[in-house]
Amino acid sequence: QLVLFIPIVLLFVKRWGVLGAWLAYPAVDVIAAITGFMYIRRVREDINEHVEKVKSAKLAVEP
């Protein structure tokens, strides 16, 4: 979040002054939450693909 926070604070302060500094906190939280959600979704897809490959490999080996 810190990596996002500093540039967003600078942009928001330039645009809205002190209010921008306060608005930056929830804005960064929303961006971090969306990024985290997308990352978790991607990892779950990768895990599911791996599980399917393992299952199909086991089925191919079993008589």
Question: Per residue in 2-60, pLDDT tens?
Answer: 899 999 999 999 999 999 999 999 999 999 999 999 999 999 999 999 999 888 877 77
Structurally, the chain folds into a number of domains equal to: 1
Domain range spanning residue 27? 2-61
Q: Over 70: is that where the pLDDT of 63 sits?
A: no
Question: Is the CB of residue 12 less than 8 Å from the CB of residue 27?
Answer: yes
Q: What is the pTM of this model?
A: 0.74
> CA separation (Å) from 11 to 21, 23, 29, 31?
9, 11, 16, 15
Start-to-end Cα distance in the chain = 52
Q: What is the pLDDT of residue 58?
A: 75
In degrees rounded to 5, what are phi and psi of residue 62? -70, 140
